[in-house]
Amino acid sequence: MRDENNKLIAFGYVCGMGLEHGYMEDIIVHPEYQKKGIGVKLVKELLREAERFGLGIVTVSYEECNTNFYKTCGFLPGSGGVWQSNK
């Protein structure tokens, strides 16, 4: 994601496009832009794209302190997180 000046402010990706299962990695938001909902928007957009490419399940590993963030994004918590398409 980029701001209005085209500055990179957030980054992330999903591996496994074209498969049934994918893995989300490297969700990063620049410190000046954290706590503004940008990370949630980024993750939800990545999940929409994953679903569009046919992924039925996306997993992610994260530190326990980020559990609420990933729950807000639609993941079911465990030792990591699992998101499953409704399709």
State the pLDDT at residue 78. Answer: 73
Q: Mind listing the pLDDT tens digit for each residue in 16-62?
A: 866 788 999 999 999 999 999 999 999 999 999 999 888 889 999 88
Which of residues 71 and 86 earns the better pLDDT score? 71
Asked if 71 and 78 count as a contact pair (C-beta separation under 8 A), the reply is: no
pLDDT tier at 79, thresholds 50, 70, 90: low
Asked if 46 and 12 count as a contact pair (C-beta separation under 8 A), the reply is: yes
Q: Which residues contact 35 (CB under 8 A, 6 or more apart)?
A: none
Q: How far apart are CA 69 and CA 6, in angstroms?
A: 25
Please tell me what DSSP assigns to residue 19. Answer: S
Which of residues 73 and 16 earns the better pLDDT score? 73
